[in-house]
Amino acid sequence: MTQVKKSTGRRTRQVFPAEETPDGSKEIIGESAIRKFQVERLVFFSDAIFAIAITLLVIDLRLPDLDTTTLTDRLLWQHLAAHSSTFLGFAVSFYVIGTYWLIHHRMFYHVTDYNTSLLRNNLIFLLSIVLMPFSTTYITSFSNGVVKLPLLLYTINISFTGCMIFRLWQLISNPKHRLSGPLQRAMVTYNKVRALAIPVVFLLTFLLSFISIAAAYKLLPLGLLTGSAVKWYFRRKHAFLQG
């Protein structure tokens, strides 16, 4: 790729980069195309972070170290039962990360430009995603039905993630930033509510731990139903969710 330059008296000013076409001529790349490419780079980078975070979740799922000469189905079932919290934590976190990836995917479908604020807030959001494998391992390893700290850290992680996706929707839907075309208000509201719904459920669950910590851990899977409940509520009133 070469640079197309324009002479203005004694100074030479760069206008746009250009690339050679098959016939040897120069084709100027417009500024809008360059900015679109930068948005695509941001999306590709974000997708890679999501993929790595989900992959790291499975590392904590280990095969049992059992003597194969005396192995029975009962022993295998006992091992699975003893590590049920690990599998539950993996399932919940996989769902949460996958849900926020879908939200992030839908969001950037509307993004046509970027600015420094979008880059920074997206990076902070991805920080919450890469912390998910750690908080998942922490809660599955140390949740003994007595201590609250593992649940607290996991709740903070989930809340951090939801608040950042909410912040991204605020940036993108604000016309003054010119990061997207006109957006339906109902669609933006739906995505903001859905981004915060899961953190609200986890915060309520953590508060429940002060009454019964055992019940709080058992209610964690309710987060799996939160997104569907929000979608059902908005689907009754708005056509953009039909189908």
Residue 126: inside a domain = yes
Specify if 19 maps to a domain: no
Place of tokens 């951090």: 160
Per-residue pLDDT reduced to its tens digit, 26-82: 444 566 777 777 888 889 999 999 999 998 888 877 777 777 777 788 888 887 887
Is residue 24, in this structure, part of any structural domain at all? Answer: no
Task: Answer yes or no: are the C-beta atoms of 18 and 1 closer than 8 Å.
Answer: yes
CB-facing half-sphere around the CA of 163: CA atoms within 13 A: 12
Q: Is 4 helix (H, G, I), strand (E, B) or coil?
A: strand
Q: Is residue 5 in some structural domain?
A: no
User: How far is it, in rounded angstroms, from Cα 84 to Cα 80?
Assistant: 6
Q: Where are the alpha helices (DSSP H) in the chain?
A: 31-57, 73-82, 84-109, 116-130, 132-142, 149-173, 185-208, 213-218, 223-235
- Nearest partner of 136 among 92, 102, 103, judged by Cα: 92
What value, to the nearest 5°, has the Cα angle with vertex 156 and ends 209 and 48? 135
Residue-wise pLDDT for 95-150, tens only, equals 888 888 988 988 888 888 888 999 999 999 999 999 988 888 888 778 777 889 99
Question: Residue 117 corresponds to which tokens in the numbers above?
Answer: 């604020």
Does residue 236 belong to any structural domain of this protein? yes
Residue 61 located in a structural domain: yes
- DSSP SS3 for 131: coil
CA–CA separation, 34 and 24 (whole Å):
21
- Please state the separation of Cα 25 from the chain's center in Å: 43
Taking a C-beta distance cutoff of 8 angstroms, is the pair 180, 110 a contact? yes
The domain of 46 spans 31-241
pLDDT of residue 12: 40
| Residue in the block written with tokens 């986890």 | 202
Residues whose CB is less than 8 angstroms from the CB of residue 78 and which lie 6 or more positions away in sequence, other chains included = none
pLDDT for 9 beyond 50: no
**26, part of any domain:** no
Question: Is the distance from CB of 158 to CB of 202 less than 8 angstroms?
Answer: yes
Q: Structurally, how many domains does the chain consist of?
A: 1
Query: What's the pLDDT tens digit per position in 207-224?
Result: 999 999 888 888 877 776
- pLDDT one-digit tens code per residue, 27-41: 445 667 777 778 888
Say if residue 15's pLDDT is above 60. Answer: no
In a domain, 13, yes or no: no
